[in-house]
Structure 1
Amino acid sequence: MVTAAAVGALCPGPIAHAEGDANSYDDIAINGTFIAFSDGVWAKTNDSLHEERSVTQVWTITSTCTTFEDCTGQVISDHGWTGDLVYLSGRWRVRHVIEDWEPCWDGTAWPGTQTFIFWQEYERDPNVYVGWDRTEGPSGACGFNRVLDIEMPFRLTRQS
């Protein structure tokens, strides 16, 4: 039989913060200027290795946290897009739509939704985050009932 004390020892609760400390969650929020790098050398198209063009962007990130698991913010990219930032289960997520992302044989094109998922690197370096950059087109685009998705390793590094 597992007791509540045993569960508490195995699964500690959230990090304790001082009552009334308005900045007590600043260690989770991320703010500043970052280099965002999507590594096309290791890209996968529909789960098969398929090299794509690597992309480097400069992101300006602002975020705030009201609890240790409720954080929101915004990313502004030097590539001309802005996306909402959300913190979920220890990972950050930002997404935006890329117009005319999937070109079709008839000259038309469909949008793709680009989603970045990233988390603090395992060494707990507060200046480096790793994750995935995934762009997905809609099923049925270009007359095919199949989603086109491209996923690349992603690295986000704070600028000093």
Structure 2
Amino acid sequence: MSARALCSVAVAIGLAVSVAPRADAQDDVAINGTFTAFSDGQWARTNDSYHIERSVTQRWTITSTCRTFQDCTGRVSSDQGWSADLIYMSGRWKTGRTVENWEPCADGTAYPGKQAWVFWHGYPQDKNQYIGWDKTEGPSGACGFNKVLDVEMPFKLTRVS
């Protein structure tokens, strides 16, 4: 076989290998370990208006597994005493919980809020950091107002171990 033919075969084999999906691609998506979860209240928004809320730092323990690089589930446990399911959809991780008595009313009653976190790799080269949003919404009609109260804050998740 000529050198030119060998080169063509080598290039063809190299191309075939480079486009083949990796068997462990789903392992690159799964996240497991301990993380610092930071919700930045300095940049909180309600109805597209910025205002300051209390920033919250938590320690999350995350376990997840993936059947494919797009089909992942898991669990988040917070040092603040709650845990919730975790799911990976459309390139983003999502988790949430109910916060009792989140929206206080003038009459002394309060309504729960639905808190949700959505996060993704903010910097693909850094597999230890994720960015996203922490958003909490109250129910429409709470406290006699037919308008949903929502607070959204920037969110950062950083691996500790």
Post-superposition offset of 1:122: 2.4
- 1:76-119 Cα deviation digits (max 9, x unpaired): 00111111101011000001000000000000000000000000
- Contact 2:64–2:72 (CA under 8 A) maintained in structure 1: yes
Post-superposition offset of 1:123: 4.0
Aligned to 1:75: 76
Runs (5+) with no aligned partner, structure 2: 1-18
Alpha-carbon distance in structure 2 between the residues aligned to 1:25 and 1:135: 30
* Moved beyond 3 Å, runs of 4+: none
SS at match of 1:27: helix
Aligned to 2:63: 62
Instruction: Give the TM-score of the pair, scaled to structure 2.
Output: 0.85
Aligned to 2:93: 92
1:9-88 aligned at under 5 Å gives the runs 16-18=21-23, 24-88=25-89
> Which one has the bigger helix percentage?
2
- Contact 1:15–1:68 (CA under 8 A) maintained in structure 2: no
Post-superposition offset of 1:24: 4.7
Aligned to 1:134: 135
Alpha-carbon distance in structure 2 between the residues aligned to 1:30 and 1:124: 15
Alpha-carbon distance in structure 2 between the residues aligned to 1:106 and 1:129: 40
Instruction: Give the TM-score of the pair, scaled to structure 1.
Output: 0.86
- Contact 2:44–2:53 (CA under 8 A) maintained in structure 1: yes
Aligned to 1:9: none
Aligned-residue Cα RMSD (Å) equals 1.4
Post-superposition offset of 1:133: 0.3
- Contact 2:91–2:120 (CA under 8 A) maintained in structure 1: yes
Alpha-carbon distance in structure 1 between the residues aligned to 2:95 and 2:124: 23
Alignment: residue pair count: 143
